[in-house]
Amino acid sequence: MGIVGDVLDEGLEGLDHNFLTGNIEELVKWARARSCWPATFGLACCAIEMMATGSGHYDMARFGMEVFRASPRQADLMIVAGRVSQKMAPVLRQVYDQMMEPKWVISMGVCASSGGMFNNYAIVQGVDQVVPVDVYAPGCPPGPETLLHAIITLHGKIESGELTKRRAATGAGAGLIVEQRDGQASPLQIGR
């Protein structure tokens, strides 16, 4: 296995044994973290705080994130801001599917993260049932600082490569591992 084989198998992650390509990898991660364009997915009150985060007082442009894209094709990050109703869930999934890899998800606020105080039939009890979530921001709603904290956490994870590794390993971002149960009856003899 040479470098080419590693790259074919593992993508950029396969390059970290070489100081030159290692630095290129760092550069790519840095670039990804510094231009993480969000797709708007403001669903409820959290979206107001998300807008506030983009405005002058908090100014997400400092992180290269001021462009909220209306088209998922142009977005890297989906900030799910607000409660996701059962009817909205397929739409959310479709938007996520239309985003280009690499892509990340922040679940903003308790409603998106777990249903929050809306523990009822209408609300998806955690958006990670629909899409893989990378960072959860608590709060009802999270203030701009909390969202920025979540974004900085996400940047750190992007730069460290942790998220890409984990998602490659589990196929998900939420740390959820679903095991396939063996439903086949194996031959078993009892008695004499």
Nearer to other proteins, 5 or 156 (CB): 156
Nearer to other proteins, 45 or 89 (CB): 45
Q: How far is the CB of 90 from other proteins (least distance, A)?
A: 22
CA dist., res. 166 & res. 45, Å (int): 31
Nearer to other proteins, 14 or 138 (CB): 138
Binding stretches for other proteins (CB under 8 A)? 56-59, 62, 110, 113-117, 119, 126, 128, 134-140, 142-146, 148-150, 152-153, 157, 163, 174-175, 182-192
Q: How far is the CB of 150 from other proteins (least distance, A)?
A: 4
Q: How far is the CB of 110 from other proteins (least distance, A)?
A: 5
Nearer to other proteins, 70 or 188 (CB): 188
Q: How far is the CB of 148 from other proteins (least distance, A)?
A: 5
Nearer to other proteins, 102 or 143 (CB): 143
- CB burial of 153-164 (b: ≥16 within 10 Å; e: otherwise) equals ebbebbeebebb
Q: How far is the CB of 177 from other proteins (least distance, A)?
A: 12
